[in-house]
A and B are shown apart, each in its own frame.
Chain A
Amino acid sequence: MNFEIIAQSMPLLLAGAGITIEISALSVGLGLLIGIVVGVCRVCNNKPLRYFSAFYVEIIRGTPLLVQIFVVYFALPMVTGSRVDPFVAAIAACSINSGAYVAEIFRGGIQSIDVGQMEAGRSLGLTWSQTMHFIILPQAFKRIIPPLGNEFIAMLKDSSLVSVIGFEELTRRGQLIIARTYASLEIWMAVAFIYLVMTFTISRFVAYLERRYRND
């Protein structure tokens, strides 16, 4: 192990980790928004909305993220005729992808709430949306914190795929440094360690949320 190489490469790797964090944070945030909306649509009474949301989930979950990134970045411009900014393409592909998984997590959470809760809300004159908003979702949210944590960690790791459209995020930086230094062992260890620090931080945060909501 040549620790000097690790030390020298650290600024470059950390800059790459910054990009990894930026892309995953934005994708997770947007994915969460998409997921809530689509997840609620999956259980709503409107048939077209229900079918459309199921279709979205099946398509996205059934194709690789790598292919989705290629579709957004290379294939879409051939249809629209205008280039897509790589940053926009990366965020779009990752958040649309994450949204499908988050939607399924929300659907599961909503369906795990006793039907009596919806009935009680409706019997009081609340509309379906009001009951969903004030009664079902707050309860469902507490239950889905652990699987949401999983999804966020998975997104952070999967964000390495955006290197294919030119992003020098953490994994890509590692590759480039190795191409120059041949220090495979040191650099991959360092890259793995940085990922681990990031994912461990997320899992600690999720554990904190779980504790906080349990004591409520």
Chain B
Amino acid sequence: MIKIRGLKKNFGNLEVLKGIDLDVAEKEVVVIIGPSGSGKSTLLRCINYLEEPTSGTIEIDGMELTSEANINAVRREVGMVFQRFNLFPHMTVLENLKLAPMKVRSISQGEAENMSLELLEKVGLASKANSYPEQLSGGQQQRVAIARALAMKPKALLFDEPTSALDPEMINEVLDVMKELAHEGMTMVVVTHEMGFAREVGSRVVFVDGGMILEEAPPKEFFANASNERTRRFLSKIL
């Protein structure tokens, strides 16, 4: 589904990613963890070209990302959920969901509306369809953001620390939606500090530090006996 080879990214003289190889199979949930500044968010943002890689290749569903045209084509198929939600504040919740399907997929207003309401139902926010984002709590906003990404019927979803900006009591409502998606077989790449989530639904945990993948294993194995020294040090701090 997602195939990354030799991915490097520099910001000026700073080498943030130093050659990443990563594969994500269909229906897999890959959890990326690592200390802040390790490059894990940059890695995620390179997957849909919000950051342009300095070198290396990214292939999504057999299509290599190169030109502007196929970047747009790929972005349609890969949804993204941001740490700070990034809902459109001048639109209602329903309008937030409808916009992209109508403009990009050219589906009708009515069809978009029905689908959007179904998705809001799914994330438990059907009653908020006509509210504006600022009237919702952080957890509710993030659930809307997930629904908005789903409205494009993506083949994969990227999550960039989706619970890091939330008050603790709201984290679970978002994680529950993500777990449900994982159980339904959505392909997901998740950058997070939620180890419980990684353990419960992750197919694989990837540890990134200093711009490189240091360790990659199924969660059970990963948390029980990490082989890399730096991984163990990181885990000992957060567990």
A-side interface residues toward B, CB under 8 Å? 114, 116-117, 119-127, 130, 134-135, 138-139, 142, 216
Cross-chain contact A124 with B88 (CB below 8 angstroms): no
| Known A127-B72, A134-B99; contact A122-B50, beta-carbon cutoff 8 A | yes
Cross-chain contact A123 with B80 (CB below 8 angstroms): yes
Most chain B Cβ neighbours within 10 Å, of A119, A124, A130:
A124
Cross-chain contact A125 with B152 (CB below 8 angstroms): yes
Please name all residues of chain B whose beta carbon is closer than 8 Å to the beta carbon of A123 when the two chains form the complex: 48, 50, 75, 78-80, 149
Q: How far is the CB of B219 from chain A (nearest CB, A)?
A: 27
| Known A114-B86, A124-B148; contact A130-B103, beta-carbon cutoff 8 A | yes
Cross-chain contact A124 with B82 (CB below 8 angstroms): no
Cross-chain contact B72 with A135 (CB below 8 angstroms): no
Cross-chain contact B86 with A124 (CB below 8 angstroms): no
Q: How far is the CB of B116 from chain A (nearest CB, A)?
A: 13
Which parts of B23-59 form the interface with A (CB within 8 Å)?
48, 50
Cross-chain contact B149 with A124 (CB below 8 angstroms): yes
Which parts of B71-87 form the interface with A (CB within 8 Å)?
72-73, 75-76, 78-80, 82, 84, 86-87
Please name all residues of chain B whose beta carbon is closer than 8 Å to the beta carbon of A142 when the two chains form the complex: 90
Sample of 26 A–B contacts (CB below 8 Å)? A116-B86, A117-B88, A119-B80, A119-B82, A120-B80, A120-B82, A120-B86, A120-B88, A123-B50, A123-B75, A123-B78, A123-B149, A124-B75, A124-B104, A124-B148, A124-B149, A125-B100, A125-B152, A126-B99, A126-B100, A126-B104, A134-B99, A134-B103, A138-B90, A142-B90, A216-B90
Please name all residues of chain B whose beta carbon is closer than 8 Å to the beta carbon of A120 when the two chains form the complex: 80, 82, 86-88
Cross-chain contact A139 with B89 (CB below 8 angstroms): yes
Determine the distance from Cα of A116 to Cα of B48 in the docked complex, in whole angstroms.
14
4 closest residue pairs by CB, A with B: A125-B76, A120-B86, A124-B100, A123-B80
Q: How far is the CB of B101 from chain A (nearest CB, A)?
A: 9
B-side interface residues toward A, CB under 8 Å? 48, 50, 72-73, 75-76, 78-80, 82, 84, 86-90, 99-100, 103-104, 148-149, 152
Most chain A Cβ neighbours within 10 Å, of B88, B104, B152:
B88
Determine the distance from Cα of A123 to Cα of B74 in the docked complex, in whole angstroms.
9
- Minimal Cβ-Cβ distance residue in B for A135: B88
Determine the distance from Cα of A192 to Cα of B99 in the docked complex, in whole angstroms.
49
Cross-chain contact A122 with B75 (CB below 8 angstroms): yes
Q: How far is the CB of A179 from chain B (nearest CB, A)?
A: 54
| Known A124-B100, A134-B103; contact A116-B90, beta-carbon cutoff 8 A | no
Which of A122, A124, A130, A138 is the one whose CB lies under 8 Å from B152? A124
Q: How far is the CB of B144 from chain A (nearest CB, A)?
A: 12
- Minimal Cβ-Cβ distance residue in B for A114: B86
| Known A119-B82, A123-B48, A123-B50; contact A139-B90, beta-carbon cutoff 8 A | yes
Most chain B Cβ neighbours within 10 Å, of A125, A130, A134:
A125
